[in-house]
Amino acid sequence: MMIKNAMVLAAGLGTRMRPITNTMPKPLVKVAGKTLLDYALDHLQQAGIEMAVVNVHHFADQMLTHIAQRQEPRIVISDEQERLLNNGGGLVQGLTLLPPGPLLVMNADLFWIGEEPDQLTNLQRLSAFFDPTLMDIAMLCVQMENTTGHNGKNDFNLAPDGRLKRYQEGDPNPFVYCGALAMHSSLLDDAPEEPFNINIYFDRAIAKGRLYGLELQGHWLTVGTPEAIGEAEAVIHQHGG
């Protein structure tokens, strides 16, 4: 499946990144000379995404100024300045700005390096993997040893057929969720009107056997604290970036 639309979840307060986020939004924090937001948008652009919604709240004016400098993908703003909607509510509002259909969703504080040249990118692989007849959600997942900046907790167990369930101690194939997923917009047709966490839809999909995972190729970095910036830059340098 070719997916052409996406949403980047970028409206959080970035409290763990303070004091940096006392004066700027977390998605504009730079790692190795590039903003976190641009890492996410570059991944989407390389995957063939044509239109991406980006939600804004914290220092929204800085976000709008930065986004205005970018040509591709075409960016539509979902304004949450009056009320933060959490990741679920933010996604619901963002979907109103996109045509119905499949889409990719990414968090704005993570990215990956080490994709093989001349091969499909991770997001292209995820788009091709997503089958709405079998899946409510398809997630990119990564093994713990291929992460930097993560809290050390496994999120899911990946079964041989690709299905995911919540990780429990002793499970044989633990993985970390990469903060990137594919879904169909209709999944949230019954969503609450108030702010909510998208995790409730993860658990519903697990209960129906419709949450699937695809292993990330490369090394995954998440940047949630000031200390994580230097850690990420060191790994990028080690990989020749």
* Per-residue pLDDT tens digits for 9-25: 999 888 889 999 999 99
211's tokens: 């949450």
pLDDT number for residue 32: 94
Query: Which tens digit of pLDDT belongs to each residue from 105-149?
Result: 999 999 999 998 889 999 999 999 999 999 999 999 999 999 998
pLDDT number for residue 105: 98
Cα→Cα distances 237→38, 52, 60, 65, 241, Å:
18, 29, 31, 29, 5
pLDDT number for residue 241: 61
Answer whether residue 240 shows pLDDT above 80: no
Please confirm whether the linkage preceding 226 is cis (ω < 30° from 0).
Answer: no
Answer whether residue 1 shows pLDDT above 80: no
pLDDT number for residue 214: 98
**Fold of the CATH domain 5-238:** Spore Coat Polysaccharide Biosynthesis Protein SpsA; Chain A (3.90.550)
What does the domain layout of the chain look like in residue ranges? 5-238
Average pLDDT, the chain: 94
Mean pLDDT of 215-234: 94
Query: Which tens digit of pLDDT belongs to each residue from 206-221?
Result: 999 999 999 999 999 9
Higher pLDDT, 80 or 165: 165
pLDDT number for residue 65: 95
pLDDT number for residue 82: 86
Query: Which tens digit of pLDDT belongs to each residue from 155-210?
Result: 999 999 999 999 999 899 999 999 999 999 999 999 988 899 999 999 999 999 99
Predicted TM-score (pTM) of this structure: 0.93
What's the Rg (C-alpha) of the chain? 17
Name residues whose C-beta falls within 8 Å of residue 39's C-beta, 6 or more positions apart in sequence: 31, 110, 111
Answer whether residue 150 shows pLDDT above 90: no
pLDDT number for residue 107: 95
Q: Strands 147-148 and 164-166: what pairing?
A: unpaired
Q: What is the residue type of 105? A: V
